[in-house]
Structure 1
């Protein structure tokens, strides 16, 4: 279900949700956050503004937000003047979000005539599963979200794959996942998510978020990951070939690449031939290779298959 912007009232200004607001909204709709759904809502306006600032968005961006929940970050993005397309799978949360956007905009306007303006055309709502989404009413150039922690990496990679218009990403995930995404070759946390995310562009750890700014407070800290998407040409076949060899290389990360890639290549001997053709030591392990190394290996396999 898509709620067009013109079905929401015109916003005169935006104010951000406090801990009290969050709890009142949750009580009003009978919400009890569950770990199963990865529901942890940001209750600190300063943290929301910090997240928006970390996104490094210039001018008025078309932002897709996944899992807006009760609307904390949605309002923060609107306050900064961006267009927001909120994707929410939960029908109860999706049904309440437009009213929250309306109420807290009007509340701010009544309290402060100098508050920043935000037009209703800046907000759209899509009630759908982000993992199955293939189109949006407005093409996004940025993804900014507090991702549901139980599906964070699959959702991130899905959106990078499906929406080539994305040029910038700022997501909040579990700190461990954030460190894994930003890890470089040789690191013990470097793996499949690292390579796949870094294929799209430069991935950096942009900050750490403590537990106490959430309700309910999670058991672990969170991290902000920024991706400067620089790969403007994203050929689906190139991606498929690259991701295939990456999956194989890390499936048995303790083994040498000659052994780990034997099934992928067809035999240990052919794996060694391809590795040498790509200028890679067959005795190396997957964690030693960067994105460029994997690309050369995928290209060597493609060239060998065509000859």
Structure 2
């Protein structure tokens, strides 16, 4: 039933695009708009948009939402690359481009095959499946900007270098932080290089291996913990058409009323202030506090 409804929604949008209601680059109704209009679940609306994205009729634009692709509706989409036998490197690069542009949730073997203009089954000559592909994507993303060849002058500088390079990688690829696991880490060579860098810097301070590794996990947890907000915010902005600041402006009245009604005076005071939620600034503040605190741990 869900598949049929998704197909009906996709067909309706396709006909509206063909009729000229939406032109190339125009934003089409978001998943939330579709759920309200059709009375369906979010997953059904998302599937409808995904069907049209797979056809090349629609594409996702970060900060804008889902828009009509710049080609006549109903024609075959132009591929960015076409090769009868892509290398594994081509598969990984195409997957990263899709995840960067549209989010990790849209990534599928079928979607990547469409980008490469090859049969879906051809991908399995290079990767066993989506799980292995994501590991290869993480490895490439972390390896784009390698750690310096020369050691850092001291432990604090080493940890700052590692943390800021990780943050930069997460910034370039918003899907990267959610794709990585803290409790079940994937076997990623380029990520292990960061572990080695931090452990090497802490080993010179005479820390036992368990304490040094705990410090590394804590540092990584701070960086990743801030970065997991990047993709969810990009998706929310694409779906709603509102930036985080615009969303807060639209909802601050309800939050203020709740705080006042529940007698939360300090929260009420904050709702009247001009606070800018800057993730980069929060990352830097947290990093500074974390490293300052380690002065009492490191011998």
Q: TM-score, normalised by structure 1?
A: 0.27
Query: In proportion to residue count, which structure has more strand?
Result: 1
Q: TM-score, normalised by structure 2?
A: 0.27
Structure number with bigger Rg: 2
Query: In proportion to residue count, which structure has more helix?
Result: 2
